[in-house]
Amino acid sequence: MLDANIPIRAILGNRVRTLLTRYGGRVRFFAPESAFEEARDHLPEILGRRGIPLGPALEILDSLNQLVQPVSLENYRSFEQDARERMRGRDEEDWPILATALALDCAIWTEDADFFGAGVATWTTDRVELFLAQSSR
């Protein structure tokens, strides 16, 4: 399960994109559709501050649909209340990420510490390859 900050990192650098490409044929990556919408909403500001053109970045984001399966709200809606309760006092707007992870019984790949302690395995980019290597066996 990818948090919205992971597709953004795939655009800004090579490490995330390399991991997605390397393991994409052996591990299934998911993200709620809202994560891609959130990434798309934040990209103009993030890229503008860095002087990076938006067009090519949006192309990369769109290409991630080849590697990351979007999950519609209907597939995780029944976990909304539980996810909101677990995210209370944190970034509660991230409930779709947690709800989708709960629905699919999978770990979250994020750089957001708000998911730590929410009851789902959480991996950061600097450690996720350990998880991906084991999961791809």
CATH number at 5-135: 3.40.50
Amino acid letter, 134 = Q
Q: What is the pLDDT of residues 8-58, one digit of tens each?
A: 999 998 999 999 999 998 999 999 998 889 899 999 999 999 999 999 999
Distance (Å, rounded) from C-alpha 43 to C-alpha 49? Answer: 10
Query: Which residues is 123 bridged to in the sheet?
Result: 109
- Cβ atoms of 30 and 100 within 8 Å: the answer is yes
Q: What is the pLDDT of residues 86-134, one digit of tens each?
A: 999 998 899 999 999 999 999 999 999 999 999 999 999 999 999 898 8
Distance (Å, rounded) from C-alpha 130 to C-alpha 107? Answer: 13
pTM assigned to the model: 0.90
**Phi then psi dihedrals of residue 109, to 5 deg:** -105, 115
